[in-house]
Amino acid sequence: MDDAVFRAPERAALRWVEDFNEALAAGTARPVGELFEDDGDWRDTVALSWTLQTTSGREAIATALHRLAMQRGMRAVAIDTDRCPARTVRRAGAEVVEAILTFETDIGRCTGLLRMKVGSRKAWTLLTALDSIRGHEEATLRKARDEAAVGRAFQGPNWLDRRRAATAYEDRDPAVLIVGGGHGGITAAARLGQLGIDTLVVDRMARVGDNWRLRYHGLKLHNTVHSNHMPYLPFPETFPSYIPKDLIANWLEFYVDVMAVNFWTRTSFDAAEWDEAAQCWSARLTLADGSNRVMRPRHIVMATSVSGTPSIPDIPTLDRFKGTVLHSSQFEDGAAWKNRPVMVFGTGTSAHDIAQDLQGNGADVTMVQRSPTLVVNVEPSAQFYDGVYHGPGPGLDDRDLINLSVPLALLKTAHREITDRVKEIDKPLLDGLEKAGFRLDFGDDGTGWPLKYRTRGGGYYFNVGCSELIAAGKIDLIQYADIDCFTANGVAMAAGEDRPADLVVLATGYKNQDHMVRLLFGDSVADRAGPVWGYDPDTQELRNMWMPTGQPGLWFTGGAFSQCRIYSKYLALQIQARELGLVT
């Protein structure tokens, strides 16, 4: 075959697909392995393994992929002609061919994404992902639920009557109980609802969206609208690039209504025990009127955010301080602190935003840095990491598939390349911060902010102006290590200086889901479930997120809008498979 012809992305991808189908038919692992690079990665998302896992290296891929492909009846692999055509793009410093695939298994229809270095006939990365369970596709189920146009009962219950009855749960319990009504819980409920799985969301807040609505006054998302859409209902084109908190809150309230999500506000999830014999939970709720209800769902999805419960560290001598102490989650508006000394403990995004709010309202602000922090300009630098969502090209579903297809090793390589570029672009700002005494870092092995979020849920700041205030000395900066102790009126520095404060804001982050599990379910369930968030070195996936845990019937969701949009689909499919008896 002529090299120029072979390099055409369509021909290269088609040749690989033909070879792969032949390798599957051969019935042994070796032909499969020969189609992968030595350093290749295969990421499976529910299609063959019923979980999320990444396998690295040719030999390991050959063994695992061949075994699972045979077990699941993987067949009919083809280029998906209804989606983005095969094309040549740059990924992680390499020119590659990317092609979206389709294939079948004994369970249903699946999607894949092949990535090959230009000039190679071997896969560098391969994604396999379950798209739908045969006979139980969203479109099939929607059609079955649709009301006939002729013969409707005009005197019977209408749509609103049925919605009220469905949400009341007077005569039944839900199959799935979702704890937490932010975007993570709502997107999971929407996906499950479209699969016909009875799902209830409970939240302590008084109104849907209050988990955004009640946060500090100037809050906006720090990545653009392009990556933050919700499933089924993308944000309107009229939305601003950086969505303010109240608009997010109102959209979530609207979304719950039009997507017919069953949602109880002012409801506290108090505890739950697993009934092994009945294979369901006994979950205790406190309702809006103060009454109690025990529900017996088969599944509980914890959607209390990967950083949901305020973390109040034990700061020695803070009890001596006689002024006001607030966690960042309690801070609303800086106007009340005009012309007054304020200290903000922390240098993450919330700390910077609150310090900027206070400074803009005329407060005398000092930031207290406890550990090195990654700082990146919100534009353009922070947006480079979400580059797949910017510019002309594929539709959102295809971009989500591309995002999903990137294994951890490739992600790290790509992010190191981006971070090196960002350090050069942001050099004047970073130099100014260091001159002011700010301690910087650039993520684990120089991989930037996204992996800091996925491993610790913070430790970075998207600069929207506060860094310039620090560099210019308009917001003072001190290191926590230089503080000797708190006093009634502020802090005493080790060097002998006293610094006054009327307010101390603890922008010290939030506890992770592990804390909530142990609190609400007890130690035995928490131990069985295992740790949540951060990468598992074996699976190379976020631990226990959107996948089965060691505790039957317990699931987790959370993260950014894009993560919840993408992974809620696979969480819902796994629960659907269990409801259908396909997985025990």
Task: Report the pLDDT value the prediction gives residue 94, as an integer from 0 to 100.
Answer: 95
Q: How many CB atoms lie within 10 A of CB 258?
A: 10
- Mutual orientation of helices 561-579 and 396-404 as an angle, nearest 10°? 80
Q: Tell me: the pLDDT tens digits for 193-226?
A: 999 999 999 999 999 999 999 988 888 998 999 9
Please tell me the distance from the alpha carbon of residue 525 to that of residue 100, in angstroms, as a whole number.
Answer: 40
Task: Report the pLDDT value the prediction gives residue 67, as an integer from 0 to 100.
Answer: 97
Please tell me the distance from the alpha carbon of residue 529 to that of residue 358, in angstroms, as a whole number.
Answer: 42
DSSP 237-249: TTS-SS-BHHHHH
Q: How far is CA 290 from CA 79, 105, 247, 258, in A?
A: 56, 49, 30, 28
**Does the pLDDT at position 81 exceed 90?**
yes
CATH number at residue 419: 3.50.50.60
The answer to whether residues 491 and 347 belong to one domain is yes
Cα 523 to chain centroid, rounded: 26
The answer to whether residue 482 is domain-embedded is: yes
Confidence of residue 5 (pLDDT cuts 50, 70, 90): very low
Q: Tell me: the pLDDT tens digits for 272-293?
A: 999 999 999 999 999 999 999 9
Helix (H, G, I), strand (E, B) or coil at 459: coil
Cis amide bond preceding 380, omega within 30: yes
The answer to whether residues 185 and 200 belong to one domain is yes
The answer to whether residues 423 and 520 belong to one domain is no
The answer to whether residue 184 is domain-embedded is: yes
Please tell me the distance from the alpha carbon of residue 90 to that of residue 521, in angstroms, as a whole number.
Answer: 46
Tokens of 421: 């570029």
What string of H, E and C letters represents the secondary structure of 288-307? Answer: CCCCEEEECCCEEEECCCCC
Tokens of 134: 């045969």
The answer to whether residue 157 is domain-embedded is: no
Task: Report the pLDDT value the prediction gives residue 368, as an integer from 0 to 100.
Answer: 97
Confidence of residue 306 (pLDDT cuts 50, 70, 90): low
The answer to whether residues 90 and 129 belong to one domain is yes
Whole-number average pLDDT of the chain: 95
Which of 133, 152, 184 represents a domain boundary (last residue)?
A: 133
The answer to whether residue 160 is domain-embedded is: no
Residues sharing a CB contact under 8 Å with residue 171, sequence separation 6 or more, in sequence order: none
The answer to whether residues 334 and 208 belong to one domain is no
Confidence of residue 332 (pLDDT cuts 50, 70, 90): confident
Greater confidence (217 vs 401) lies with 401
Task: Report the pLDDT value the prediction gives residue 133, as an integer from 0 to 100.
Answer: 98
The answer to whether residues 265 and 180 belong to one domain is yes
Q: How many CB atoms lie within 10 A of CB 236?
A: 8
The answer to whether residues 347 and 266 belong to one domain is no
Query: H or E segment at 309?
Result: strand 309-310
The answer to whether residues 524 and 571 belong to one domain is yes
Mean pLDDT of 392-400: 95
Which of 185, 174, 62, 122 has its CA nearest to residue 516? 185
Note the pTM of the prediction, 2 decimals: 0.94
Which of 457, 486, 510 represents a domain boundary (last residue)?
A: 510
Please tell me the distance from the alpha carbon of residue 308 to that of residue 517, in angstroms, as a whole number.
Answer: 12
The answer to whether residue 528 is domain-embedded is: yes
CATH number at residue 106: 3.10.450.50
Q: Which residues pair with 262 in a beta bridge?
A: 200
Q: Are 464 and 222 in contact (CB under 8 A)?
A: yes
Helix (H, G, I), strand (E, B) or coil at 388: helix
Q: Tell me: the pLDDT tens digits for 446-483?
A: 999 999 999 888 899 999 999 999 999 999 999 999 99
Confidence of residue 7 (pLDDT cuts 50, 70, 90): low
**Does the pLDDT at position 72 exceed 90?**
yes
Which of 296, 248, 304, 302 has its CA nearest to residue 275? 296
**Does the pLDDT at position 132 exceed 90?**
yes
User: Which of 5-19, 466-480, 515-529, 569-583 comes out lowest in average pLDDT?
Assistant: 5-19
Q: What sign does the dihedral 453-459-462-464 (CA atoms) show?
A: positive
Which of 510, 527, 550 represents a domain boundary (last residue)?
A: 510
Greater confidence (214 vs 310) lies with 214
The answer to whether residues 278 and 218 belong to one domain is yes
**Does the pLDDT at position 2 exceed 50?**
no
The answer to whether residues 200 and 241 belong to one domain is yes
What string of H, E and C letters represents the secondary structure of 11-48? Answer: HHHHHHHHHHHHHHHHCCHHHHHCCEEEEEEEEEECCC
Mean pLDDT of 115-125: 97
The answer to whether residue 150 is domain-embedded is: no
Task: Report the pLDDT value the prediction gives residue 1, as an integer from 0 to 100.
Answer: 39
Q: Are 265 and 207 in contact (CB under 8 A)?
A: yes
**CA torsion, ordered 165, 189, 271, 515, to nearest 10 deg:** -160
**Does the pLDDT at position 433 exceed 60?**
yes
Helices (H) and strands (E) in the chain, counts: 18, 27
Domain holding 219, by residue range, is: 172-308+512-579
The answer to whether residues 362 and 494 belong to one domain is yes
Mean pLDDT of 411-420: 97
Q: What is the DSSP letter of 208?
A: T
The answer to whether residue 119 is domain-embedded is: yes
What string of H, E and C letters represents the secondary structure of 510-572? Answer: EECHHHHHHHHHCHHHHHHHCCCCCECCCCCCECCCCCCCCCCCEEECCCCHHHHHHHHHHHH
The answer to whether residue 155 is domain-embedded is: no
Q: How many CB atoms lie within 10 A of CB 366?
A: 21
The answer to whether residues 317 and 445 belong to one domain is yes
pLDDT above 90 as % of the chain: 90
Q: How many domains does the chain have?
A: 3
